[in-house]
Amino acid sequence: MTGKAARGKWRYIAFQVDCERNISRRDFVGTLLDIGRGSPVRDSFKLTVFERGLGILKVPHRLKDDAIALLGSVVSVNGVRCEVTTLKTSGTIRTLKERYLVDGKEFADADDWR
């Protein structure tokens, strides 16, 4: 059995993406990889959820603040102007899914976010 220290601890960051038009998950990840190239985060993240303008990013716990800064630095995705707002961070993805997803399948309406 492997302990948490050996596997590494993770943080999950829920965020909202507001763009002039719809963007793909692939384009968003590509933008994060491009921007993150010079940061400590680089490619040390996984976009676990990305739908209807909301997402959950998984990062090593020591890179949480750097990942939040990376998300905040996104101003366009594939030429489309965007703004990314961090909603909440958690040590478990379950907490964020319960708060921002309806029945674990889709994101709740904007009125239910907080």
Q: Which residue has the tokens 């907490």?
A: 95
Tokens at 90, concatenated: 């958690």
Using CA atoms in the order 92, 47, 55, 52, what is the torsion angle rounded to 10 degrees?
Answer: -140
Q: Which residue has the tokens 């990942």?
A: 67
Query: Is residue 108 helix, strand or coil?
Result: coil
Q: For residue 107, is pLDDT > 60?
A: no
**14-52 residue pLDDT tens:** 999 999 999 999 999 999 999 999 899 999 999 999 988
**66-102 residue pLDDT tens:** 999 999 999 999 999 999 999 999 999 999 998 887 6
Q: For residue 3, is pLDDT > 80?
A: no
Q: For residue 109, is pLDDT > 60?
A: no
Domains parsed from the chain with CATH numbers: 9-108 (3.30.70.3250)
